[in-house]
Structure 1
């Protein structure tokens, strides 16, 4: 059976004309249904479709079929002897697979004789069948469409499929046994891998003919691993043979063995692969079977690159037939890297640039093939592996650009032109010439890999065009799969490309993208280096605003080795800012430059309208030297109501922004969770005990409670989402005997932690979000020197309105630069100030006992100043109702234990005016009065009501009416009593 045949051959003999009438039907009907292939050696059963070609009898081919069309007499006279001769020939050649088909037609049954005791089929089975009677089959009139004919036809097909698979199995077992014997001879000096390769490839082709593509792929993978094993052994200096299932990934570890002398410990056949590679044709995945390469393998004249290309092409073809293009993409980069390492190990010489051409062509060939199988459901799977291929092709093109003088700033010499010509010649013919003959000069997506590399090497303009196209595709693909670092690395290389070219704007764009990643991930040294290059770009392009921002960020970079550069950049920034002629003010974010620590009010006294507010501010400067700022301001916002999250209004009461990750508490302590009587503890653990069905495990779930340090970090720490604490809990699973079974850690809110972030976030968003707000009302100080490290600065302003003042942005002004710190960037608790405004109040009341009418009674006049300052001799008028008089007590005022000036005692009057002493804010003055009311005649003991009207400019409504109640000191009553002729009056 030849490996180049599409289908196996089955020979036929006997009546050729008769079989020719059946051949077309058999050829088309056999593969329509699958047959079960029961394989030996415990291998799994497979269902395959049998597809064969029928040819006249030959001694070298697989299965043999003899067709007869006779009656019993003819069979006895002629056919039996011819069948015996035929079977004898098969036996001499070791063929045990045969089949005899008896075709019965109505003509053979027309006879006047009596029915024979036995039929021709019975004779066949008794003469030749033996224990294999199923090899003799009767076919009833295939030209008819009755049930008997159809049934006999289906029976023939079923037995033929079965016997063909039996022949397959027997032949493959013998073949595999011979192949194993050949492999076991691999340690002999005269053993040849090329011969063994073709032998095992025949087995792979058989599996491929049966549509068992996975089995066929296993054979090629074994050949790949075996060849790699020999290369590694030669690199290791003849070390023991590795197992056959050696992993390809181990190959990279031995790539440094290129200094070993391969010829000393390598088999003779391996030295053939060390010959110089005169061509570097890329992969050609459009070819299903390269007969030319098979002939080269047979003649042992194939180079290492050609052999590796052929082997990978066979593997790729099988993967595509299995509909696994993503696996082809995942194998491609490993194949390229391993092949280059094998060239180095075997010391196979190749022209400088040849490997780059081969790698470029192979990468684009794989990508072009995958584009044909692009499906929305597998786009991400493809992109995960095509992104490194795009980047690899780009690197190889860059390598060719450096070699051929096509990079910016280079001029192509005549020697480099000869190199280009030699490289192009070594690529061979374009395998896609027929497909792309009409579109080679149109869009790049329609160009073949070879057309693209030839055009790229033709001129610097074409090279730039293709190099940038590949870079753009590689960056976008890396971003699509979320590998931002890889995309940024290519972007940095592009920035260097643009710097050489002189395109500073494009270089600055890529450097700024690179800087985002370095800053967010904390790579300070890389950030400083990138900022230095960015500053040079902005200075050359005249972008003063970005230059100033980059210089100040570099000056604040915490890298000790850059201290001199930091001072230099800061001085350059200050000099540029002084020479700015336009009226524009540059806003700079204070992140990583200045850090605002805490804010607090300098005094503990209540703050009233008209008073000065002094606030102390701690600012940490990351700049290397001191800077004197023109002004430092803190915005104040007026709120009439107290903020909901505030506590004590006069001090630092606003808590930091609560974390998005909630913390939960629980009620059972860890230490007591093992005991039966669980007690409450301050270290909280939530009990979620469950008694498992079979295991009987007891579970506890602990939720981490925030410590003081964690709470400080939540309230005062940076608001960078990457630095937020995760809300984690751990679960303890206990058995019934209280022993620990398992521990697991869970995130309680993964939907928040893993939510999608803005892909355009980073420094740009920070800078765009810096907008100076309204500073019409603010705390301020001028000409303040900020030194490196911590500084405590006092800000001052006068308040004129009552309510709550909330601190906002903080701005440091220097020339035409404004360093703005948003409220959210303040590490300490934001400032909250309550401005108190209370109106003076006047109270008139008695002491402890009730007031009596008719005699002088003491009253108390209380004046509360509120938030106002009451001047001396401020007047208060008291006007009484008829029957009530007042006078100031001779002892005067009682002012909270202090000696105050006394008013002159007056006589009782209905209308009196009192001069008040000086009263400070939030204090009070108490004056003693005497009240006298007339004792009017009344029949009962009801109270006597009077009214005092108080008027003063201190009162908000200018008038205050106070009701005063007096009770009579005694009540007189009388009764008349009669005793005989006398009258008596009883007075009570």
Structure 2
């Protein structure tokens, strides 16, 4: 207090408000003490304990000391805490009893009577002791006399209300102790008074709030009461508690507005529904906007006035709490909520007034934050302020459109009048910003003054906002601002500048899947491309819009007509094609091959049926639909295709394609689709699989260098392939929805054909599907003629007729009348001819009977040799009978035989057919070979051998017959080897009974058939007059089952000693036990053997060291030499 002797009115409603303490008594005394008192009082904190269980806080007390006047005492009903004196102090330094009785006592009495009349009980009497005065007066009483008299007169029950301050201006320990005691008492009394009065005030405020449902309750009155509480907390520097009071008022008012919108309105809200006449924005540069506060107090404030004042107070407290970024966040919420509240309350607002208010408020908040933060803080907290920049940009754009500043011709008279009205509503610029060069007021006034100024301010704001959004990673918001810029440039007839922003926004919307913004942006982009004359891009965008289900049918048809109109127009360059992606026009749903496995021979016909779903809203006449096919020559394409079909294709040869959404405009850096195929490598010697793998056919496209910066350029990325292999359909009408189109082609060259692209042509416009994925292909094979000979049974048995199947695969060769197979005859094997022999001709155009059958027993050997083995014959028969190859016809088979050659005349058959017929062969007996002569063509291989040497005693012996066959399609002979198995195994043994000798022959059946044995005979070859064989077995027919044996015994009788060697030849007739009649008589089975020295010679030879009766027996016996041959 600079001049306490002069009456100073209390300073109300400023940020320097402090609790009021009145001072009565000796004013000069207080003036001398005041500097020390004001400095010492807030130095020590006090613990403030509040009611209702709220946490205690440490506060520093300061006071505003004013001279005591009765007018300062609160009157009944006054709820202003800031003008309320919390403590009353009476100052005196009287030390003379006479003076006390004459003046001081009467003055104290009057002071206390005034306090009692206003029910004020918070007072304190301070007696200042001065040693200098006491020395000048010799008759003074002791110090305690005056203090005691004051306590007796005025502090009967409250003796602590009178304190002594000794020599306050001296610097001594006694003085310091006196100050400490006085300050402690002063802080305690001041805090007690403050707590008591604040508690009573809160109770009264709470009672007033509970009456809000009563008629006549006023929000403005309640606002003033609770703001008084906020002022008190602010006075105590409890800014958080003060902010809570304003937040409660904010929430209460917002709830009433929401209820009003729901039909439950309060009467006092009508004061805030008056039309808006001023829109000068928020005022944040004053601690308290007294002008708007008085409007609220008088209940004359508009909604914008109340909101502006309330937010300015919140802003001030937040800045004291060092939370400027919360100011930006709350400001953005406030601006949006005010717009909604004006609509809910149906407040009349002139066009553009709210835009002006929002624009000014955004810039005011931003400048207020910039004023209390440095540049580093601002740059690091762009995320909090960029929303205000964006909102200000949006509102400035709205004002530009409203005032005609964006139109091509500029503002008209009506626009100018509207601009004048808006500027009038701003009023005069506030004094606190009058000297600021870039104040919000000046910026708005300048932006609305001319087209050029508006363009400058709008572009500056837009580019700054885009830069801020981009720096914090909010790309979608940046693109949204760019989209507004594009609209501005389109209004300004600058489509070349707008295209970049539209492309960027469209790419972002596509990447994030925003369907409706994509549609809207494409419409704008189409208009921009049309103005720029970008025909190809315009047609592509039009096709996307024509297939967009978010547009109306009329809009879709209009874009479709744009495409059809251009397609029917004569162009300057007839050969020029405009290539567009197919996905915007139609999509490929499925594909079906006929034949289903997509494998045909050269000359065969293959059908490809595709289902295309048109996305156009009207039927479209397409000049040509073509499939571009890539041709490659690969090995093993039949096997590759079969394996691929097994993994990837559905039953019936159907390939389904996924439905693709319209993709994002791909940058140059995006890679094309992989084109993968399987790879097999086989051994040239035995055709076994050596290696397998996967090959990428378009690796040159994937690994090529990407240009830097190419991602910034827009590219369609669709190219039309040129190739000699194309499947075409002309004059096709595509109806909306599914359409079936069939392509037919005749295979002319063997290899693999991969379907690469699908193209629909409408004049110069081509819609292309650049990659058909998953990969689809068909194979064309060219097959060499082949001859296969395979037994119908598991094994061929010697001695009985056996059926052999001949299969002629014509391949690319056409069998003509007169073509025949020439078989070389051999003595050991006969080919039996029957008149009823017939040949069946099969058609294998379906491809299932093509080359390299999995059951095949024929393969190309060296030197053109075709070897046939017995494994798998029945499997081949099963496949044929299953109907995989269709029967074309049958014909009689003519077989002619001569001494050296058997000729089989083949029926006429076209290429890629099969001829099958069966013949009977019979392996005949052959004379024993004198030695191991080598086998030659056209002869038998007479040496018997076992299939498994480890199991020779249990397996049948085999022999091979080689036959040379001359085929009409080859100059080389084909050699086949037929292996015959011996059904019997024969052994003989020599038996003795005393001096009588016997020969036993055992015949064992090793085959799976049952046989009848008869007419067994054993004769001695050569000069056998001295040796006679007498049979001891029965001559009846014997039935020998599989794995059974028959025994034959003869007794040997001789007439000459010693008997001659036995050269035996055993023979027995045999026939299969089945009742089937044989077409030829069978030769008997023969077995030859020889037995020498079948007697023992005994001689007695005395030996040294042996007893005389001992004999030494010597066995002289030679092993029989056996030569066994059997013939069947």
Report the TM-score when normalising by structure 2: 0.59
Task: Please report how far the alpha carbon of residue 140 of structure 1 lies from its aligned counterpart in structure 2 after TM superposition.
Answer: 10
Residue 455 of structure 1 aligns to a residue whose secondary structure is helix
Task: Please report how far the alpha carbon of residue 618 of structure 1 lies from its aligned counterpart in structure 2 after TM superposition.
Answer: 2.0
Distance in 1 between residues matched to 2:219 and 2:598, nearest whole Å: 96
Residue 7 of structure 1: which of 18, 22, 29 is its match? 18
Residue 492 of structure 2: which of 494, 498, 501 is its match? 501
Matched, 1:575 2:586: no
- Aligned CA distance change for structure 1 residues 604 and 21 (closer, same or farther; 3 Å): closer
- Report what 2:928 is aligned to: 936
- Report what 1:364 is aligned to: 363
Q: Report matched runs for 1:836-915 at 5 Å.
A: 842-846=787-791, 848=793, 858=802, 860=804, 862-863=806-807, 865=809, 869=813, 871-872=815-816, 889=833, 895-896=839-840, 898-907=890-899
- Given that 1:836 and 1:867 are in contact with CA atoms closer than 8 Å, whether structure 2 keeps it comes out as no
- Given that 1:29 and 1:157 are in contact with CA atoms closer than 8 Å, whether structure 2 keeps it comes out as no
- Report what 1:542 is aligned to: 533
- Given that 1:195 and 1:298 are in contact with CA atoms closer than 8 Å, whether structure 2 keeps it comes out as yes
Residue 327 of structure 2: which of 325, 328, 348 is its match? 325
- Given that 1:651 and 1:832 are in contact with CA atoms closer than 8 Å, whether structure 2 keeps it comes out as no
Residue 583 of structure 2 aligns to a residue whose secondary structure is coil
Residue 781 of structure 1: which of 718, 729, 739 is its match? 729
Distance in 2 between residues matched to 1:875 and 1:151, nearest whole Å: 143
- Report what 1:983 is aligned to: 1059
Q: Report matched runs for 1:664-703 at 5 Å.
A: none
- Aligned CA distance change for structure 1 residues 543 and 945 (closer, same or farther; 3 Å): same
Task: Please report how far the alpha carbon of residue 461 of structure 1 lies from its aligned counterpart in structure 2 after TM superposition.
Answer: 1.3
- Report what 1:36 is aligned to: 48
- Aligned CA distance change for structure 1 residues 280 and 532 (closer, same or farther; 3 Å): closer
Q: Unpaired segments of 5 or more residues in structure 2?
A: 1-9, 73-84, 136-141, 665-710, 842-889, 932-942, 946-956, 991-996, 998-1051, 1067-1128
Q: Unpaired segments of 5 or more residues in structure 1?
A: 111-115, 229-244, 258-264, 441-446, 658-714, 723-762
Distance in 1 between residues matched to 2:533 and 2:183, nearest whole Å: 86
* 1:189-217 per-position Cα deviation (integer Å, ceiling 9, x unaligned): 99987676545433221122223334434
- Report what 2:122 is aligned to: 97
Matched, 1:249 2:258: yes
Residue 216 of structure 1 aligns to a residue whose secondary structure is helix
Task: Please report how far the alpha carbon of residue 504 of structure 1 lies from its aligned counterpart in structure 2 after TM superposition.
Answer: 3.2
Distance in 2 between residues matched to 1:75 and 1:380, nearest whole Å: 73
Bigger drift between 888-897 and 201-210 goes to: 888-897
* 1:812-854 per-position Cα deviation (integer Å, ceiling 9, x unaligned): 1233322123557x8xx8745455676655444555486677x
Task: Please report how far the alpha carbon of residue 395 of structure 1 lies from its aligned counterpart in structure 2 after TM superposition.
Answer: 5.3
Task: Please report how far the alpha carbon of residue 62 of structure 1 lies from its aligned counterpart in structure 2 after TM superposition.
Answer: 2.4
- Given that 2:622 and 2:730 are in contact with CA atoms closer than 8 Å, whether structure 1 keeps it comes out as no
- Aligned CA distance change for structure 1 residues 426 and 767 (closer, same or farther; 3 Å): same
- Given that 1:838 and 1:867 are in contact with CA atoms closer than 8 Å, whether structure 2 keeps it comes out as yes
Greater RCO, CA 8 A, separation 6+: 1
Bigger drift between 69-78 and 165-174 goes to: 69-78
Residue 408 of structure 1 aligns to a residue whose secondary structure is coil
Residue 780 of structure 1 aligns to a residue whose secondary structure is strand
Residue 255 of structure 2 aligns to a residue whose secondary structure is coil
Residue 903 of structure 1 aligns to a residue whose secondary structure is strand
Residue 47 of structure 2 aligns to a residue whose secondary structure is strand
Matched, 1:209 2:235: yes
- Given that 1:10 and 1:52 are in contact with CA atoms closer than 8 Å, whether structure 2 keeps it comes out as no
- Given that 1:635 and 1:774 are in contact with CA atoms closer than 8 Å, whether structure 2 keeps it comes out as no
Residue 758 of structure 2: which of 796, 802, 810 is its match? 810
- Given that 1:538 and 1:544 are in contact with CA atoms closer than 8 Å, whether structure 2 keeps it comes out as yes
- Given that 2:362 and 2:392 are in contact with CA atoms closer than 8 Å, whether structure 1 keeps it comes out as yes
Task: Please report how far the alpha carbon of residue 52 of structure 1 lies from its aligned counterpart in structure 2 after TM superposition.
Answer: 0.7
- Aligned CA distance change for structure 1 residues 76 and 879 (closer, same or farther; 3 Å): farther
Residue 336 of structure 1: which of 304, 318, 338 is its match? 338
Distance in 2 between residues matched to 1:528 and 1:272, nearest whole Å: 42
- Aligned CA distance change for structure 1 residues 462 and 913 (closer, same or farther; 3 Å): farther
Report the TM-score when normalising by structure 1: 0.66
Task: Please report how far the alpha carbon of residue 615 of structure 1 lies from its aligned counterpart in structure 2 after TM superposition.
Answer: 0.6
- Aligned CA distance change for structure 1 residues 789 and 183 (closer, same or farther; 3 Å): closer
Distance in 2 between residues matched to 1:574 and 1:978, nearest whole Å: 115
Matched, 1:585 2:610: no
Matched, 1:63 2:62: no
Matched, 1:23 2:37: yes
- Given that 1:645 and 1:654 are in contact with CA atoms closer than 8 Å, whether structure 2 keeps it comes out as no
Distance in 2 between residues matched to 1:380 and 1:17, nearest whole Å: 54
Residue 595 of structure 1: which of 573, 587, 593 is its match? 587
Residue 979 of structure 2: which of 964, 967, 976 is its match? 964
Q: Report matched runs for 1:130-149 at 5 Å.
A: none
Residue 547 of structure 1 aligns to a residue whose secondary structure is helix
- Given that 2:611 and 2:738 are in contact with CA atoms closer than 8 Å, whether structure 1 keeps it comes out as yes
Distance in 1 between residues matched to 2:744 and 2:714, nearest whole Å: 29
- Aligned CA distance change for structure 1 residues 958 and 333 (closer, same or farther; 3 Å): farther
- Given that 1:63 and 1:164 are in contact with CA atoms closer than 8 Å, whether structure 2 keeps it comes out as yes
- Given that 1:491 and 1:514 are in contact with CA atoms closer than 8 Å, whether structure 2 keeps it comes out as yes
Q: CA RMSD in A?
A: 6.0
- Report what 2:914 is aligned to: 923
Distance in 1 between residues matched to 2:149 and 2:965, nearest whole Å: 145
- Aligned CA distance change for structure 1 residues 392 and 837 (closer, same or farther; 3 Å): same
- Aligned CA distance change for structure 1 residues 188 and 584 (closer, same or farther; 3 Å): same
Distance in 2 between residues matched to 1:972 and 1:300, nearest whole Å: 137
Distance in 2 between residues matched to 1:904 and 1:17, nearest whole Å: 154
- Report what 2:768 is aligned to: 820
Distance in 1 between residues matched to 2:98 and 2:585, nearest whole Å: 111
Distance in 2 between residues matched to 1:605 and 1:342, nearest whole Å: 70
- Report what 1:755 is aligned to: none
Distance in 2 between residues matched to 1:841 and 1:142, nearest whole Å: 134
Task: Please report how far the alpha carbon of residue 535 of structure 1 lies from its aligned counterpart in structure 2 after TM superposition.
Answer: 5.0
- Given that 1:35 and 1:161 are in contact with CA atoms closer than 8 Å, whether structure 2 keeps it comes out as no
- Given that 1:645 and 1:655 are in contact with CA atoms closer than 8 Å, whether structure 2 keeps it comes out as no
Residue 894 of structure 2 aligns to a residue whose secondary structure is coil
Distance in 2 between residues matched to 1:104 and 1:92, nearest whole Å: 30
Residue 284 of structure 1 aligns to a residue whose secondary structure is coil
Distance in 2 between residues matched to 1:866 and 1:79, nearest whole Å: 149
* 1:285-322 per-position Cα deviation (integer Å, ceiling 9, x unaligned): 22222345446666778776555433332233234445
Matched, 1:460 2:451: yes
Distance in 1 between residues matched to 2:441 and 2:583, nearest whole Å: 51
Task: Please report how far the alpha carbon of residue 600 of structure 1 lies from its aligned counterpart in structure 2 after TM superposition.
Answer: 0.9
- Given that 1:285 and 1:369 are in contact with CA atoms closer than 8 Å, whether structure 2 keeps it comes out as yes
Task: Please report how far the alpha carbon of residue 565 of structure 1 lies from its aligned counterpart in structure 2 after TM superposition.
Answer: 3.4
- Aligned CA distance change for structure 1 residues 878 and 941 (closer, same or farther; 3 Å): closer
Distance in 1 between residues matched to 2:358 and 2:132, nearest whole Å: 71
Residue 365 of structure 1 aligns to a residue whose secondary structure is helix
Task: Please report how far the alpha carbon of residue 166 of structure 1 lies from its aligned counterpart in structure 2 after TM superposition.
Answer: 2.0
Residue 309 of structure 2 aligns to a residue whose secondary structure is helix
- Given that 1:319 and 1:327 are in contact with CA atoms closer than 8 Å, whether structure 2 keeps it comes out as no
- Given that 2:823 and 2:966 are in contact with CA atoms closer than 8 Å, whether structure 1 keeps it comes out as no
Distance in 2 between residues matched to 1:390 and 1:643, nearest whole Å: 65
Task: Please report how far the alpha carbon of residue 361 of structure 1 lies from its aligned counterpart in structure 2 after TM superposition.
Answer: 1.0
- Report what 1:315 is aligned to: 314
- Aligned CA distance change for structure 1 residues 894 and 168 (closer, same or farther; 3 Å): farther
* Greater share of helix: 1
Matched, 1:796 2:744: yes
Task: Please report how far the alpha carbon of residue 766 of structure 1 lies from its aligned counterpart in structure 2 after TM superposition.
Answer: 11
- Given that 1:69 and 1:103 are in contact with CA atoms closer than 8 Å, whether structure 2 keeps it comes out as yes
* 1:440-482 per-position Cα deviation (integer Å, ceiling 9, x unaligned): 4xxxxxx432232122122111112333444566778899999
Residue 896 of structure 2 aligns to a residue whose secondary structure is coil
- Report what 1:167 is aligned to: 193
Distance in 2 between residues matched to 1:878 and 1:79, nearest whole Å: 163
Distance in 1 between residues matched to 2:146 and 2:966, nearest whole Å: 144
- Aligned CA distance change for structure 1 residues 820 and 642 (closer, same or farther; 3 Å): same
Bigger drift between 194-203 and 578-587 goes to: 194-203
- Aligned CA distance change for structure 1 residues 617 and 147 (closer, same or farther; 3 Å): farther
Distance in 2 between residues matched to 1:521 and 1:29, nearest whole Å: 60
